[in-house]
Amino acid sequence: MSDTIGFFKMASTTETTSNKALYDGVDGSPVQTHIYSEADAREPTTSEDQAVAEGLQQIQARKVHWYSYFTTWDFWTLILLGQLLTLCNTATSTFTSFLVEWGTSIPAFQTFFNYVLLSAVYVPYMFYRYGWRKVARVALSDGWKYFILAFLDVEGNYFTVLAYRYTNILSAQLINFWSIVCVVVVSFTLLKVRYKFFQILGILVACGGMGMLLGSDAITGTNNFSTPDMLKGDLFCLAGATFYGLSNVFEEWCVSRRPVYEVLSFMGLLGMCIGGATAGIFDRQTFQEATWNGPVIGYVVGYTLCLFIFYSLAPLMFRMGSAAFFDISLLTGNFWGVIIGIHVFGYAVHYLYPVAFVLIIIGLVVYFLAGSMLGDSKKPWLGDNQEGGVAGIGTAKLKALNEARRQGLIADQRA
Q: What is the pLDDT of residues 344-398, one digit of tens each?
A: 666 666 677 777 778 888 888 888 886 678 888 999 999 888 989 999 999 999 9
Instruction: Identify the pLDDT of residue 414.
Output: 47
pLDDT at residue number 13: 41
Instruction: Return the pLDDT at 38.
Output: 30
Give yes or no for a contact between 207 and 332, defined as CB atoms under 8 angstroms apart. Answer: no
Strand partners for 30: 23
Q: Which pLDDT score, from 0 to 100, does residue 50 have?
A: 86
Positions of the chain with pLDDT lower than 70, given as ranges:
1-46, 167-176, 213-230, 334, 337, 341, 343-350, 370-371, 410-415
Q: What is the pLDDT of residue 246?
A: 94
Nearest alpha-carbon partner for 147 in 294, 280, 33, 268:
268
374 close to 58: Cβ distance less than 8 angstroms: no
Looking at residue 347, its pLDDT comes to: 63
DSSP 378: S
- Residue 23 CA to residue 26 CA, distance in Å, equals 8
- Looking at residue 47, what is its pLDDT? 78
**Across the strands, what pairs with 270?**
none
Domain boundaries, the chain: 65-401
Give the predicted TM-score (pTM) of the model: 0.81
pLDDT of residue 213: 64
* pLDDT of 34: 38
- Region label for 177, one of left (φ > 0), alpha (ψ between -120 and 50) or beta (otherwise): alpha
